[in-house]
Amino acid sequence: MKNAQNIFVNSEPKFVNHIVEENDIVTALINFEEIDYIEPEEMNLDIIYEDEYLLVANKPAGIVVHPSSYHLNNTLANGVKYYLNNNKKIRPINRLDRDTSGIVMFAKNEYVQECFQNKADYKKEYLAIINGILDNDKGTINKPIARKPDSIMEREINYEDGQNAITHYDVLERFVEEGYTLVHIELETGRTHQIRVHFKSEGHTLLGDDLYGAPSKLITRQALHAWKISFVHPITNEEVKLEANIPEDIKNVITKLKKAM
């Protein structure tokens, strides 16, 4: 059992499995050095919120959130590491696909990260352009999602082995002549590729999604943006509502579609 050098009970250092008793005073020090393999890289970050506990950035499309065996460098986490310039681990609370733009939250310590482990602790809202015209003004897609057999990246609807996945949406605008729908989406769960897989299962792939649909001349990636997020701050207990500016490529598509109406 690892000695918790930063945990004290009644001013005495204790292991993490120490049993506390009534009236014990427990103190945890969170400003300690951590080993992190992420290399700092200077990057132009679009920071939309920051305090002592959280950093929230508007991620551009084309950037991976966190290093992996396929993307060791030039990730958003590398840029955050450089910006924070400290000896702490980089702790993303949520993740986005490489070509999805929008809000990514980072916790500045382990405690705050743990406070957001339950997806219900924060509400994520997206903006998307989908192929085809949705008939209903609003709806819910409730279909379980699992990794597609023999694929590293793709997911699929799987009623036997899939994880619970729920997506709520409402239509913002229909471009009937062009055959597209602008939708606002709220996630109740956060499965990998959830929005993309759910709308494909309804017969409406995202515009420009070349993994689950087809490339588009209107945009060079899937037209999906993590637009808004809201949560109760785990330290201050204040409600925080944040919005990430819609990127130019999606705004340009919307403008073109409006002109074509």
CATH ID of 122-230+241-261, from 3.30.2350.10, 1.10.10.10, 3.40.50.880, 3.90.226.10: 3.30.2350.10
> CA 199 to CA 195: how far, in whole Å?
6
Structure tokens at 215: 């490339």
> CA 44 to CA 237: how far, in whole Å?
30
CATH superfamily of the 31-117 domain: Pseudouridine synthase (3.30.2350.10)
- pLDDT of 31 reads 67
- pLDDT of 2 reads 47
Decide if 210 is catalytic. Answer: no
Do domains 31-117 and 122-230+241-261 share one topology? The answer is yes
The domain ranges of the chain are: 1-30, 31-117, 122-230+241-261
Q: Where do the H-state alpha helices sit in 119-247?
A: 194-201
> CA 46 to CA 56: how far, in whole Å?
9
pLDDT along the chain (261 residues), means of 10: 71 88 88 78 96 97 88 91 90 94 94 82 93 96 95 93 96 96 95 96 97 96 97 94 97 91 69
Other Cβ atoms within 10 Å of 122 Cβ, number: 19
- pLDDT of 35 reads 74
> CA 53 to CA 32: how far, in whole Å?
14
Q: Is 10 helix (H, G, I), strand (E, B) or coil?
A: coil
Candidates 219, 201, 175, 202; CA nearest to 210 is 219
pTM confidence score: 0.87
179 and 194 Cβ atoms separated by less than 8 Å: no
- pLDDT of 3 reads 47
Query: Which of the residues 97, 99, 137, 161 is marked catalytic?
Result: 97
